[in-house]
Structure 1
Amino acid sequence: MFPTAIDMPEDVVWRRDIYREIDLNKDANAGLYYPVEPIDKQLNLFTFVFKLALNGYIPVYEYRLDGSEVFSDAAKVKIKTVLDNYHIFYEEKDGKLRVDNSDIPSAEVKLYYLKESAYYDQANSTFHRKVLAFCPVMMREDDFGGEASKYPLFWVKYSDVEPFLTRQTVMTSNLNNAATMTMADFFTLTKYEGKIYKTNNMLGRTLAQYCTTDSAMAKEQRKIEGELTSFEKNIFGDQAKKDSLDSIANLDPKAAAKARKVSRRSGSKSETEKTTKVRRRSSSPRSSGGSSAARVTVRRQRH
């Protein structure tokens, strides 16, 4: 699989759209959560995207009840509507909105819904995974202190925000704090991890709608991941069979033992044939002894 930062061609011969839930509590994704509040110029993903939307650099789109995304002008959401709907404090002066860093609900955004596309590009015979969009999800407790509920805020089209993500870095290691990469590289190299909760299908169903138990859900997620891996590995057909004895030994010990046994038998057979030929050749001079000159014996007589 080759990571790609280029646009996906429209005429690909194979493609599958996947929706994942990116949990920022996992180590692989924690770099998107840190720091919760800005430290100098270092911002986490939500704060960075929130400021871009607040200042009008990128549009944001509504999160529909069915969880789907539509990137049309009609689906655009005003950032002021988001602030009002989720009770985010702001000030408005001279037609401009201002939100203090301490009022940005960055600490509550602990999940992202992410849409990616796995596809085969026949133009250069390569398999790619490309992020298409993501949605920050706020985890907020109710007034009675119950279990936190999920509040998907808005969809962001990845191609809109990608040029800005090259300017912001993310920490990639807990052991080495100097290990960083840009947020754009983080998504391009698919460093994130997330469980599949939906695929594009003709019925528009999520996994939860037809997987009634947790075990069924986990099984379906493994199945989909396996299908993606299988397609990537078998794009060009099965790997050529290995014919050397060493390769056979590595793949199947029984086959290797059988091959060695056959080899020994053929070797002993050839040695027997050689011995027989040598014996036949050595016996041929003896058979021609009858044609040699006769011996003459002279007897002496005493006088």
Structure 2
Amino acid sequence: MNILRIALFALALAFTGQSIAQPPRRRAEQQAKQQQQQNSPRGSAYRQFPTAQAMPQNVAWRRDLYRKLDLNKEANATLYYPTTPHDGRENLFTYLFKLLLRKQIKAYDYKLDGNENFSAKNEVTARELMDRYHIFYEAKDDKVRVNDADIPSEEVKVYFIKESSYYDQQTASFRSQVTALCPVLVRGDAEFGGDLAQYPMFWVKMDDVAPYLGKLMLMGSSLNNAAMMSADDFFTMGCYEGDIYKAVNLQDRLLANYCPDDSSLVREQKRIEKQLADVQEHVYGRDSAYYAKLRADSIAQAQADSLEALGKSARTSRRGAATSRRSSSLSRRTRQSDAGSAKATKPKKQKSAKVRTKAPRSGGGGNGKFSVRRQRH
């Protein structure tokens, strides 16, 4: 019994000594980890699951589109800033690149045809990407270290996304979902008259990165800096604005392959957008919230048109009254002028001269006639 107690006491001393003799570096790492866990946001800010519902494989209708997100647009700027990590915030590319360095996600090579290929033979490592795009890094054994200043997040100004719009017959709803994402480097000497070139880097599968995007918090508004949203919510809710550069077709052609100029390209993009809207509107319909908003917008537009019409009518009546006053004044002046000219040119009446003739006197006879002239008094 005493031997058992002594053995237990010795074992306890061994564990205590091991904990006391822990290297300072390990203790510092543990303290830093605990501090990070205490400072990390809690609640809905850090979700371990995506908010988007997985797209069923047996959908009744689907249309796949490729869009180009320009981060210079206001709607997409939240994916670009801050270009350098600051105050616990970082942009989308920095976050994805760090996940790739830690091998938490897989990246797939971008082929010349632009189509995504998520097969194992098409995987690409972070070191291959850094060698290809001349990104500075420090390598020691199998570990790779990259400083935040060396990550080219400032040069990633465009994203290519693949968007699938489909009708889910199980829930009788029309949805749009981003299925793939590709960051694009924009490099060149534009300041010295050179052309900017785009270098698509790699594809990532949205289902793989969605759980991590739920942890990346982005600024949701420029007016309210307290409004935050996750990157997963940004793509799930369709807050981005992107131009269509390809619609999946039998010939696998880009829009630029059969649109000779920019105007025809814009018309084709609008035509495809209208096709999606028509399918959602006339075939499957929309939810009641959309129609309520549409009615409210129609009423507001009708009121605005009515006020504008009243304003135009009032301005027209005022102009008509002013024109009639000017016309009447001009006509009065014209009549007065005509009357004056008529008086000036009217000839004076001349009195006609009366000619008096005397009858000749006869020389004899009793039958002589006398003319009597009356004198006027």
The bucket for the TM-score relative to the shorter chain is: 0.7 to 0.9
Q: CA deviation at 1:237?
A: 6.6
Please, which of 247, 250, 256 is the counterpart of residue 208 of structure 1? 256
Cα deviation per residue 1:237-256 (whole Å; 9 max; x = unaligned)? 79xxxxxxxxxxx9xxxxxx
SS of aligned partner of 1:136: strand
Q: 2:211 maps to which residue?
A: 163
Q: CA deviation at 1:40?
A: 2.9
Q: 1:12 maps to which residue?
A: 59
Q: 1:149 maps to which residue?
A: 197
Q: CA deviation at 1:145?
A: 6.1
Q: CA deviation at 1:218?
A: 0.1
Structure 2: 5+ residue runs without aligned partners? 1-50, 287-298, 300-377
Pairing of 1:1-303 with structure 2 (within 5 A): 5-141=52-188, 146-236=194-284
Q: CA deviation at 1:173?
A: 1.4
Closer/same/farther in 2, CA of residues 236 and 31 from structure 1, 3 Å limit: closer
CA distance in 2: counterparts of 1:228 and 1:192, whole angstroms: 17
Q: CA deviation at 1:235?
A: 2.7
Cα deviation per residue 1:72-108 (whole Å; 9 max; x = unaligned)? 0011011111000000000011311111000000000
CA distance in 2: counterparts of 1:109 and 1:183, whole angstroms: 16
Q: CA deviation at 1:41?
A: 2.1
**Residue type matched to 1:127 in 2?**
F
SS of aligned partner of 1:105: coil
Cα deviation per residue 1:260-302 (whole Å; 9 max; x = unaligned)? xxxxxxxxxxxxxxxxxxxxxxxxxxxxxxxxxxxxxxxxxxx
SS of aligned partner of 1:234: helix
SS of aligned partner of 1:155: strand
Q: 2:365 maps to which residue?
A: none
SS of aligned partner of 1:196: strand
- Determine which structure has greater relative contact order: mean sequence separation of CA pairs < 8 Å that are 6+ residues apart, divided by chain length: 1
Structure number with greater Rg is 2
Higher deviation after alignment, 30-39 or 172-181: 172-181
CA distance in 2: counterparts of 1:19 and 1:11, whole angstroms: 21
Question: Identity percentage over the alignment?
Answer: 52
**Residue type matched to 2:91 in 1?**
N
CA distance in 2: counterparts of 1:45 and 1:221, whole angstroms: 27
CA distance in 1: counterparts of 2:218 and 2:276, whole angstroms: 28
Higher deviation after alignment, 77-86 or 4-13: 4-13
Q: CA deviation at 1:234?
A: 1.6
CA distance in 1: counterparts of 2:134 and 2:85, whole angstroms: 21
Cα deviation per residue 1:49-79 (whole Å; 9 max; x = unaligned)? 0000011000000000011110000110111
CA distance in 1: counterparts of 2:122 and 2:275, whole angstroms: 33
CA distance in 1: counterparts of 2:68 and 2:146, whole angstroms: 28
Cα deviation per residue 1:143-182 (whole Å; 9 max; x = unaligned)? 9761210000000111110000111111121111111101
Give the structure with the larger helix fraction: 2
Task: Flag as ranges the 4+ runs of structure 1 deviating above 4 A.
Answer: 142-145
SS of aligned partner of 1:22: strand
SS of aligned partner of 1:128: strand
CA distance in 1: counterparts of 2:195 and 2:228, whole angstroms: 34
| Aligned residue-pair number | 238
CA distance in 2: counterparts of 1:237 and 1:151, whole angstroms: 40
Q: 2:368 maps to which residue?
A: none
Closer/same/farther in 2, CA of residues 145 and 101 from structure 1, 3 Å limit: farther
